[in-house]
Structure 1
Amino acid sequence: MIEHLDVNAFLDALNRRTEAFFREELGIGITSRSFQIDDVQKLDLKHLTAIMSATGALKLYLAYSFEAALIDAAFTAYTADLDIDPGERDDAIQETAGDIINIIVGNALADIAAKGPAIALSPPIILTEAKSVMRHRGAKFASAELATAAGNLSIHLIGPGELFNDSLEYVKE
């Protein structure tokens, strides 16, 4: 996917940091996990997906895709000490998803930084529609599925980034 990036190590670091963040910051435990590296043919994006692009030698996208009940539980825990106006709730939920991916991905990259080249991250983009992305045209996908009592989270690595736009649609040649 990215030259000089160990995809297995990166996905493992994302998984470890995600589990720690959910447990320590949100009080949400991971009950099971599964990984797919080489044989992912289709990505199913859930209710809300936070996406970042990572650029190093090549470009790839990272997507954290939340089921509705899980992002609601994460939002409730993350903003427990804040007074959120009901009219601003949807925007605040999206900001929560962006904060979560920023923190986790930044920490995971710090974990593997000594093992490879520097990788720059874009600000998160939030997609609020469930959709599927089929693999074709040389795309490569790697995914982790994490289950919690509140719902599931998918972590996707999607590359090379040049094949996609920021909505994870294939760009025209």
Structure 2
Amino acid sequence: MEEIPSESLMRSLCTAQELVSKLLNAGSRESLDILHSLEDILVPTLSTVRCSINSFCPINHCPDDILGLIFQYSVALIDDTADEFQWPFSSFRPSSKLIDLTHICRRWRILALNLPLLWTHIGDRSSDPLLRAVSTFLQRSRMAPLKFHIRGKRHINIRSDSFKLNLSRMEELHVDYISDLFGL
């Protein structure tokens, strides 16, 4: 568990309190400058407070390797394609929920971004915003084997350099609507 940074927090809050006192007697131009200074102090202070609050959550007492396994298994269980056809025994999983995972807290973001196996399923489902993020997923997956799902008119550009450069890493390729893939 992280130690609460009480000394730096107190200094920031004292400085903020002084600025609020100055703000009460300031003119309009000076007030704007003071408000910007106050914002510069309070935004990082709020981040520090939130980080301290998160450190008390029981899940954050798990070691990184255990939490990483939890991430991998939980993402594998997500099925946001219940109304879509899935080939039996397909190991492809939608990865759109990974973005949500990186927005929970700083620790989870750092951990998730450094787990290449989380970023290996690259698809373009309508509920999956990955079409715009293919290069990000390719980068985050590092050299891990990839699984691609190309579907409908919203397909990954198979002529792109990033796609061609990563063909050797392809472990699975799922294609729906082949005529759309080749632009026929």
TM-score normalised by the chain length of structure 2:
0.27
Higher relative strand content? 1
Give the number of the structure whose residues are more often helix, by fraction.
2
Greater length-normalized contact order (CA 8 Å, ≥ 6 residues apart): 1
Computing the radius of gyration from Cα coordinates, the structure with the larger value is 2
